Structure 1
Amino acid sequence: MATDSRCIVLAQSLVLLLAATGVCFGQGAIVSSAGPVHRGMGGASTAAPISALGALYWNPATISGMEHGELEVGMDVLFTQHRIDSSYSPYSGSTEAEPGTYPIPNIGWVHHLENSPVTIGLSVNAVAGFKTNLQSSLTNPVLLPQPYGLGQVSSEASFLQIAPVLSYAVTDQFSIGGGPIVTSGQVGIEPFVFDSANANRTYSSGRSSRYHWGGGLQLGAYYIANDAWRFGASFKSPSWMESFEFYGEDENGAPRQMSADIDLPMIVSLGTAYAGFDKWLLALDLRYIDYANADGFGDPAEFDSTGRLKGLDWSSIMSVAIGAQRALGERTFIRCGYSYNQNPIQDSESFYNVATPLIYEHTLSVGGSYQLNETLALNMAYSHFFENSRTGPIVNPVAGPLPGSSVTNEMQANVLSFGILMRQ
């Protein structure tokens, strides 16, 4: 009973914290892992349910394969470095962003119903987002004051998903699962180029008028072939969001209302895991993220006659994640993982993504757990997102790409993750 009370208090506290959370990213705008155990495995979990958060994040059917019900809470702390270099004769300059650090909490709960093939679960995760903050500049051409450049660039978006899950064990070896996904999102962008320019060719800043809501669904299957091999597959539909409404100002300071359509993409995952080596677990995930058909992300990067940018023109991508876990005795586990994803942003689109420079491709992770007793474990992990860059021309909304111009986005990040896991 004391353990149940602690679980309830932790769950309530974390849900309150999630309401004010920042954002993280990994595979484009999509967060690649949830919690320190999952992060230590490089995000591979479609067929490797070794923790509640990891099992719930990529394949709801795998919770039937967990040995115990559990509550897992995790906190990621993200550190990013973003730099913009641009040139257009006779100007050139470099500007460092100051996005700061911010927390990304997650919670996952799994419970096996007694004498039943049904397992239920609930996850609350920060699943997507971006953030940067660049001061205007008198020497960096792309950041010259409006209307000659973009001026100050500030962006922040966070998407939170609440996902209740039911998994049914058809046999001892095969289970299916799924459930609805409820998504809440907030977006702020300055300058707001996704609606028409003001009469003086400047753009208003834009902050979403409230949290906006949407939803989708997820389905999964999990198969235990034998003591060594497991296989999994899952499907996450797009999160169809209501149209985002933004408050801004026109050239005279009078209020104006703007809007943009932004959905989260469809994701398909396939995975396998191997436990045939003593004290080892190996996992591999393949993933397809359909940015090209997601509103906002996949719409063409073109300015219309009013100066409105139609979209970011992101490409759909494939990603791979591999992870390994080794038991050191009965209480200690160590993990390592690596993930690679194709870049959704092409060089020619560097200008359009100054506020959304999510260009990571390679990520290396390490982690570990220590079992304090039969019911409580401490978990930690660290991920490094290696520096990457994209370079393309500066684009004028009227004249198009400027000959001889150049804008380069460079970004890298580090994530420290920690948390606890309580088994029933």
Structure 2
Amino acid sequence: MTGTIRSRSLRRWMLSGVSVALLAASVADAGAGAFGIREQSVEAQGLSFAGAASGSGGVSSMFWNPATVTMRPGWVTEQNLSVINLSARITPEAGTNAAFSRLGESGELGQTAIVPAGATSYQLSDRVWIGISTGAPFGLVTKPRATWSGELYGRSSRIFSLAFNPVIGFKVNEWLSVAAGPNIEYFKLVLRQAFLSPLTLNPAALPSSGLKGDSWGVGFTAGALITPFAGTSVGVGFRSSVHHDIGGQLILPAPYDTLGGNIKAKLNTPEKLSVGITQAITPEARVNFGFEWDNWSRLGTIAIVSNGARATAPALTLNYMDGYTYSIGGEYDWSQALTVRVGVAYEVSPIDFSNRSVRLPDGNRVNLSVGASYRWSEKLTLNFAYSHFFVERGRILAGVGRDYNVQNVAFAGVADSSADIVSVGFRYVFGEPAVAAPAPLVRKF
């Protein structure tokens, strides 16, 4: 027991405050609503991911719909690399606690992240394919100034994930393919925020508390691909929720460090349903449509456990809504070697004023993208894409009566965010290119 704060009450309060940080950060984003990362295919990105479930993203479309594994013969691999530059700044407003308001704005809290992704397919027979896709479905890197007016609600956030999704696809007939497979996922987080201590009365000199944890989980993906007419593809894909039993540690500054300890949290990632349509307009031009639904509302209430005992706040109500994305894009074969793309998407974010936090300055967004593919040879194709995200300006309010509340210290602010994403990649076909069989020799007698 130190000062006027008892060990038990301090521990429970700190768990309650960092619990908010844990779940708030584990749902912050770089390239999609909430903490989702959509940058899994350079080709699909150039279309703002329109038609990704119907194969517009090449072999990497397996992320949205595993049945697209049957679209390419032979042995094909694609590797993608995206540089995500998230820019965000939070400015305090009237209503912020006076002692903290004078600390000023967040500064640039967005950080640059590099996200790799890849997919490989292999044809076993005329009807059976196997494949694997890898990538980071969730992630975040944000770091405001160490001393700022919202420091009690966030000083830094790092989220890392990695998923392995082997699939098997079956071509039922000439117009229907189906596929499914397990989704093996790793999830890790490291978070920091200011610690309000009676030993440090100056808000500009508060020490930091931290939390770190990780988990492995398993889900599945499944999908179907329909090609009813020549030049038309319709795809539907599903990614299940992955259950994570996150285990980690709560780290407190001295002299409270002995009050830290092991924590546990159960987190279920949202399901994703993707629908795509690709339609050929001419032999050289195609139009793509996309729709995605993410079940973020399943993150409504999450319990936090420390050393086997529940914190003072036994449940955290996040109140996220479902996320919806609508996209359209077009591609044109400029020549036999060059294909160009353009796309636009509108995303309804699961985050609004009711549940927005300093770790998650998210909002509705518009995504404009361009891209191109260059066929270097019969085996090698090079891909490029650029996207800019226009994110809706969002107000933030934390404190009494809000989901995010640390020691009843109020914070009010407004977030301005945007993002630029540059992606490069390649497709490589192993083995010799397919050639037409020669016509049979017919003898006349």
TM range (shorter): 0.7 to 0.9
Equivalent position to 1:395, from 383, 394, 399: 399
Partner of 2:412: 406
Please point out which of 63, 85, 90 is paired with 1:57.
63
* 2:140 aligned residue (130, 135, 143): 130
C-alpha contact 2:288 2:328 (8 A) present in aligned 1: yes
Alignment partner, residue 131 of structure 2: 121
Correspondences of 1:3-402 after superposition (within 5 Å): 24-44=30-50, 45-53=52-60, 55-67=61-73, 69-87=75-93, 88=96, 90=98, 91=101, 93-114=104-125, 116-137=126-147, 140-143=148-151, 149-150=152-153, 153-191=155-193, 204-208=209-213, 211-249=214-252, 252-254=256-258, 255-294=260-299, 298-299=300-301, 306=312, 310-350=316-356, 353-359=357-363, 361-396=365-400, 397=405, 402=410
Alpha-carbon separation, structure 2, partners of 1:28 and 1:398: 22
Cα shift readout 1:142-186 (whole Å, capped 9, x = no counterpart): 23xxxxx44x61001122110001110000110111100000011
Contact 2:59 2:68 survives alignment (8 Å) = no
Separation in 1 of the partners of 2:220 and 2:197? Answer: 39
- C-alpha offsets along residues 258-299 of structure 1, whole Å, 9 cap, x if unaligned? 2322221011122211013230121111111001113xxx33
CA offset at residue 421 of structure 1?
0.8
How many aligned positions are there? 379
Q: Secondary structure at the match of 2:131?
A: strand
Aligned equivalents of 2:145, 2:315: Cα separation in 1: 21
Q: Distance in 2 between matches of 1:390 and 1:215?
A: 34
After superposition, the C-alpha distances for 1:370-391 in whole angstroms (9 at most, x for unaligned) are 1111000111111111133221
Could you tell me which runs of 5 or more consecutive residues in structure 2 were left unpaired when the two chains were aligned: 1-28, 201-206, 305-309, 431-445
CA distance in structure 2 between the partners assigned to 1:104 and 1:125 by the alignment: 8
- In structure 1, list runs of 5 or more residues that go unmatched: 1-22, 144-148
- Which AA in structure 2 matches 1:85? T
Letter in 1 for 2:427: L
225-234 vs 405-414, which moves further? 405-414
Is the deviation greater in 249-258 or in 235-244?
249-258
Deviation of the 1:360 alpha carbon? 5.1
Q: Could you list the per-position Cα deviations for residues 14-37 of structure 1 after superposition, in whole angstroms to 9, with x for gaps in the alignment?
A: xxxxxxxxx843232112231311
Displacement after TM superposition at 1:128 (Å): 1.0
User: How far is 1:106 from its partner?
Assistant: 0.8
Deviates more, 1:90-99 or 1:223-232: 90-99
Partner secondary structure for residue 234 of structure 2: strand
CA deviation profile, 1:303-342 (whole Å, cap 9, x unmatched): x983677153321121112221110110001111222111
Residue by residue over 1:80-133, the C-alpha shift from the partner in whole angstroms, topping out at 9 and shown as x without a partner, is 11111113375363222344322111111011113x300111011111112211
Whole-angstrom CA distance in 2 between matches of 1:175 and 1:192 = 53
Point out 4+ residue stretches in structure 1 off by more than 4 angstroms: 197-203, 398-402
Distance 1:301 1:83 in 2: 30
What percent identity do the matched residue pairs reach? 21
> Is the contact made by 1:391 and 1:407 (CA closer than 8 Å) also made in structure 2?
yes
Alpha-carbon RMSD: 2.8
Asked if 2 retains the 8 angstrom alpha-carbon contact of 1:76 and 1:103, the reply is yes
Give the secondary structure class of the aligned counterpart of 2:344. Answer: strand
Q: Indicate if the aligned counterparts of 1:359 and 1:388 stay in contact, CA closer than 8 A.
A: yes
Higher radius of gyration, 1 or 2: 2
